[in-house]
Amino acid sequence: MLKAEEAGLDLIEVSPNDNPPVCKIEDYGKLVYKQKKLEKKNKNKQKTNEIKGLRLSIAISDHDFDVKVAQAERFLKTAHPVKVALILKGREVAYRDMAIEKLQVFAEKLKELSQVEQMPKSQGYNVFMILNPRKN
């Protein structure tokens, strides 16, 4: 402790469980600053796996369908999973099979970039599926 006081620094206990406890002489404010900086750097490096969502309707035109496929392609290339939801309105609920078929066509167009994590599944007025980017 005397050495730390003479140097104008702090005595910091690094490992209290060891026998004898390990300490080092360093400026405490500087140590806290370094730790915060390291945490911030590690947080920035962490990759968040955000699911991107696309919404379609059963009466979507061919061009609009292709635009949505291109958008999903962009998401998959940036390593984001994609949740494709096809919303059924009113009497469209009777055509649930057509909706599932449309989602299967969607998955077929993206089969080179993605793998289907969850097959088209019906839930209320929605039919959805989840596509994951393919590992290269």
Of residues 124, 132, 62, the one with CA closest to residue 87: 124
Is the C-alpha dihedral spanning 47, 130, 114, 65 positive or negative?
A: negative
Report pLDDT digits (tens) over 29-70. 888 899 999 998 888 777 667 899 999 999 999 999 999 999
Q: Per-residue pLDDT averaged across 83-106, rounded?
A: 92
Average pLDDT, the chain: 88
- pLDDT attached to residue 108: 93
Q: CB-based burial of residue 120 (10 Å sphere; 0-12 exposed, 13-18 middle, 19+ buried)?
A: buried
- pLDDT surpasses 80 at 4: no
Half-sphere exposure of 134 (CA within 13 A, CB side): 11
Domains of the chain by range and CATH? 2-45 (3.10.20.80), 52-133 (3.30.110.10)
